[in-house]
Structure 1
Amino acid sequence: MDWCAPPSGVSDTPRRRNGEDERGRRLAETAPSDLLIATAIAERDPEGARFLMMRHVRTTREWLEGIWPEPLVT
């Protein structure tokens, strides 16, 4: 018996409607950077995974600071 297989009578394909799954949550698309991080983790490359994750964090922080700058104190 395959432990990864869904129970009999249960479909492993979620029902989708207008970009949402059956629970009403938005279906996420995987970003290429996330796939690179996952690949590094799967290949047991901790240094590469850490480098990619830190680059992702820095990029996200720069983006967030661009749309929500720190308040200016005068």
Structure 2
Amino acid sequence: GLYPRQSFFEPSNSSITSTLGRTVLTSCSTLLVLLFIFIRGGDAIRSFVFAMIFGVIIGTFATIYVAAPVAYLTDARRNKGAKA
């Protein structure tokens, strides 16, 4: 890897920490606009905006809580296969 003396966890943890603020701010600003459109928009667009709001919330959750553990498990499985 790029940092041979560090475990996989250390660079991924610092990456998540550095991008967490940007992820939250981007999601909040997107949600603010979507909520405004949901409240002020017409009936034709309301269901679409609701789906977008749901997608932003789930996407933010997945970015923060799912992506790093999946990457860690994938790396652990790859290293286990390489050692065998």
TM-score tier (shorter): 0.3 to 0.5
Q: Which has the larger radius of gyration?
A: 1
Q: Which has the higher contact order (CA 8 A, sep 6+)?
A: 2
